Amino acid sequence: MQPTLEPGTILGRYRVIGSLGRGGMGGVVEVEDASGARFAVKSPIADTSGTGDITARFAREANALRLLDHPNLVGAVDVFVEGGVLFLVMEKASGVTLGQRIRDHGALAPRQALVFAHQLLDGVGHAHAVGLVHRDLKPDNVILQPMGGWERIKIIDFGLVKLMGDAAAAFGANALTSTGLVFGTPAYMAPEQALGRVVDGRADVYAAGVILF
């Protein structure tokens, strides 16, 4: 049975503050440690498929985030197991999503859009350099983090990450990706991704271009 994620409960060495949301691969709660520092903790949804794919993909995301060290990417802080469930502790990126900003206020001014696009591509470039393809870049996976007079973007949700090169060799994750299966958000997919073909970092660059548009 998965440990409770209700506010006030203790999870590992963290106290649960409240829910931050739920995605297709798992739920996210806000926690704090003994020093009062706040983090986001993600756990996988119950895997009822019988194949173990959800659990395996979650473990792959945890391994992938531990490779990231870039100001425009949310990386892993800690990984632990409790009650037989893997929990991923991440930096808590405060702010609204780019998607919410656009829904609330419409298209960004060109200069601001270019600033965000530059940061987005910097983060994506780092991910590709360590062997990670996000595969689900979209405005709702980009947090606008207030930085005192300006905003820094943070790319979140590597739940559909594909590992390449040394990262794939280290974690043996390629078996989870099969040609013919489509992963991602249709409006932001590169053509080859929408067709279920093998993708590489260029699919993320295409999605970044759609976001800029």
Catalytic residues: 136
Q: What is the DSSP-derived secondary structure letter of residue 66?
A: T
**CA separation for the pair 80, 89 (Å, rounded):** 8
Q: What is the DSSP-derived secondary structure letter of residue 193?
A: H
* Residue 53 CB neighbour total at 10 angstroms: 11
**CA separation for the pair 163, 187 (Å, rounded):** 23
Q: Which residues does 25 contact at the CB level (< 8 Å), separation at least 6?
A: 44, 45, 54, 57, 58, 61, 159, 160
Q: Is 165 helix (H, G, I), strand (E, B) or coil?
A: helix
